[in-house]
């Protein structure tokens, strides 16, 4: 089953380390232009390598590799002297505002094709991000950003071991955003490593976040192997978190429909009426709370239409009864997922956005902040607020070999990039 190993990580050594606040960054796919500019104010921030920008028409991937090699030569990054595992604990405000903690383990995870059932995806991916990450991996020859995996932990064996580790002083720490912190522990004691590896050996793992990075690693390793340059089985940098961790949180990803020719709010509501009960809300600010109050019931959405001051709560009328016509091709684990119901009943049937156009994000945008969505609601054709996909729904679909639509889950918080880096083969500084 899952094969994990310790590794010799690259870690920051320059001041202010071990305080890594100004050196680490969120994963590349959640960094907007303004945040990238802010992070890049520090010339040693990992964003320069993980989300590179090349000036004067240069090659950003080559520049990222050159920068990484220079940091190693100059001692900005050092490589641990012996193999280790690394425990990370993140503290953050939960969806209800109360403090929460989530604990995970950084390790090497051997690459496995999806067909083997050891590494299980749950979301579909896009070609563009896969190609981008493959080129960066080929250039830097390093696993820069960890992939977030969930694993079963029978008897809480792994949790007990890591729980004993986090009561000791951490080796590094950082503040992340507003109110979030992360602490890092290096685990080099052989018996503890063996116990952690053994606790995960017979388990499958589910990709929570990082599908593009995992598929890029598979593609890169296949290319290297075909060219005679592969290293063993290949591996990724994994952040392993128990399915039973009390700090696990999934947030919704909302939708915005824009620039759709001929869009008419009244006509859309008329088309929704046979399948949905529509309740008007005079104050659009009440909409997120009204939708969240019905989490757990399938097919409840908040709707905002451009040019209107209020909003609507849409409740799928068949939520507890039979499937509507045209759902016969859908496997059972997908039939009560809000993201699928929205895709099929609203975007495809009413707006004419088929699955291909949605995958290409034609007339479609994703927004994580419900407050920001409410503020923007008057400027777009339609904004849709959703409740989060529940973890048990994700597991049920994934274990049946099914993929959810893109942007179905947002596991919060993201695992920062730059706490540890896992080189592939020789260090860049050692190569001509």
Burial of 203 (0-12, 13-18, 19+ CB in 10 A): buried
* Greatest C-alpha distance within the chain: 67
Lowest mean pLDDT among 5-9, 33-37, 232-236, 290-294: 232-236
pTM: 0.91
Q: Got the DSSP string for 328-363?
A: TTS-GGGTT-HHHHIIIIIIITTT---HHHHHTTTT
Q: Please give the residue that has the higher pLDDT: either 108 or 355.
A: 108
Token representation of residue 68 = 């990484």
Burial of 245 (0-12, 13-18, 19+ CB in 10 A): buried
Average the pLDDT over 74-90 and give the result.
96
Does residue 192 have a pLDDT over 70?
yes
Average the pLDDT over 315-338 and give the result.
77
Can you give 139-196 as a three-state secondary structure string?
HHCEECCCEEEEECCHHHHHHHHHHHHCCCCCCEEEEECCCEEEEEEEECCHHHHHHH
Instruction: Please name the residue ranges forming H helices in 202-292.
Output: 211-226, 265-272, 287-292
pLDDT given at position 247: 95
Confidence of residue 354 (pLDDT cuts 50, 70, 90): confident
Confidence of residue 140 (pLDDT cuts 50, 70, 90): very high
Does residue 386 have a pLDDT over 60?
yes
Lowest mean pLDDT among 197-201, 391-395, 400-404, 427-431: 427-431
The DSSP call for residue 283 is S
Q: Please give the residue that has the higher pLDDT: either 127 or 273.
A: 273
Instruction: Please name the residue ranges forming H helices in 33-174.
Output: 33-40, 47-50, 60-73, 127-140, 157-165
Lowest mean pLDDT among 49-53, 90-94, 161-165, 369-373: 369-373
Average the pLDDT over 352-362 and give the result.
84
Query: What Rg value do the Cα atoms of the chain yield, rounded?
Result: 23
Q: Please give the residue that has the higher pLDDT: either 107 or 326.
A: 107
pLDDT given at position 57: 67
The DSSP call for residue 227 is T
Among the four given CATH numbers 3.90.79.10, 3.40.50.300, 3.90.1530.10, 1.20.140.10, the one describing domain 4-248+413-430: 3.90.1530.10
Does residue 139 have a pLDDT over 90?
yes
Q: Please give the residue that has the higher pLDDT: either 232 or 140.
A: 140
Confidence of residue 425 (pLDDT cuts 50, 70, 90): confident
Task: Show me where the domains of the chain are located.
Answer: 4-248+413-430, 253-387
> Average model confidence (pLDDT) for the chain?
91
In this prediction, what percent of the chain has a pLDDT beyond 70? 94
d(Cα 20, Cα 10) in Å, to the nearest integer? 14
Confidence of residue 94 (pLDDT cuts 50, 70, 90): confident
Q: What is the pLDDT of residues 24-65, one digit of tens each?
A: 999 999 999 999 999 999 999 999 999 999 766 689 999 999
Give me the residue label for tokens 């729980």.
163
pLDDT given at position 125: 84
pLDDT given at position 426: 65
d(Cα 313, Cα 267) in Å, to the nearest integer? 16
Provide the angle, in degrees to the nearest 10, between the axes of the packed helices 157-165 and 190-200.
Answer: 150
Which range has highest mean pLDDT (41-50, 174-183, 353-362)? 41-50
Does residue 429 have a pLDDT over 70?
no
Token representation of residue 301 = 């959405």
pLDDT given at position 318: 74
């Amino acid at each position: 089953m899952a094969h994990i190993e310790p590794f010799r990580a690259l870690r920051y050594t320059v001041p202010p380390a071990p305080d890594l606040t100004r050196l680490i960054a969120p994963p590349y796919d959640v960094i907007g232009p303004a945040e990238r500019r802010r992070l890049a104010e520090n010339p040693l921030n990992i964003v320069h390598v993980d989300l590179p920008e090349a000036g004067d028409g240069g090659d950003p991937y080559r520049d990222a590799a050159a920068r990484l090699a220079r940091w190693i030569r100059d001692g900005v990054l050092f490589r641990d002297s012996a193999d280790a595992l690394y425990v990370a604990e993140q503290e953050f405000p939960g969806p209800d505002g109360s403090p929460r903690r989530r604990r995970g383990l950084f390790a090497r995870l051997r690459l496995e094709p999806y067909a083997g059932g050891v590494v299980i995806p749950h979301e579909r991916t896009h070609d563009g991000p896969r190609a981008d990450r493959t080129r960066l991996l080929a250039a830097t020859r390093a696993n820069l950003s960890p992939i977030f995996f969930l694993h079963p932990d029978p008897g809480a064996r792994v949790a007990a071991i890591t729980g004993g580790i986090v009561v000791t002083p951490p080796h590094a720490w950082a503040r992340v955003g507003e109110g979030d912190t992360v602490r890092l522990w290096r685990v080099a004691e052989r018996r503890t490593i063996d116990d952690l590896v053994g606790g995960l050996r017979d388990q499958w793992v589910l990709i929570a976040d990082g599908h593009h990075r995992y598929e890029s690693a598979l593609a890169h390793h296949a290319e290297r192997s075909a060219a005679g340059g592969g290293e063993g089985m290949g591996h990724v940098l994994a952040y392993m978190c128990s399915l039973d961790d009390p700090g696990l949180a999934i947030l919704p990803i909302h939708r915005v429909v824009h620039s759709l020719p001929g869009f008419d709010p009244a006509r859309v509501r008329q088309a929704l009426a046979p399948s949905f009960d529509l309740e008007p809300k005079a104050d659009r600010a009440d909409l997120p709370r009204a939708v969240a109050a019905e989490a757990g019931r399938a097919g409840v959405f908040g709707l905002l239409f451009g040019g209107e001051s209020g909003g609507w709560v849409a409740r799928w009328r068949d939520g507890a009864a039979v499937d509507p016509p045209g759902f016969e091709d859908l496997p059972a684990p997908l039939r009560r997922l809000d993201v699928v119901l929205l895709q099929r009943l609203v975007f495809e049937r009413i707006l004419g956005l088929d699955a291909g156009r949605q995958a290409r994000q034609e007339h479609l945008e994703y927004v994580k902040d419900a407050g920001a969505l409410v503020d923007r609601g008057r400027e777009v054709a339609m904004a849709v607020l959703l409740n989060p996909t529940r973890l048990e729904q994700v597991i049920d679909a994934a274990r049946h070999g099914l993929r959810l639509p893109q942007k179905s889950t947002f596991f919060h918080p993201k695992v920062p990039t730059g706490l540890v880096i896992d080189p592939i083969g020789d260090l860049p500084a050692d190569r001509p």
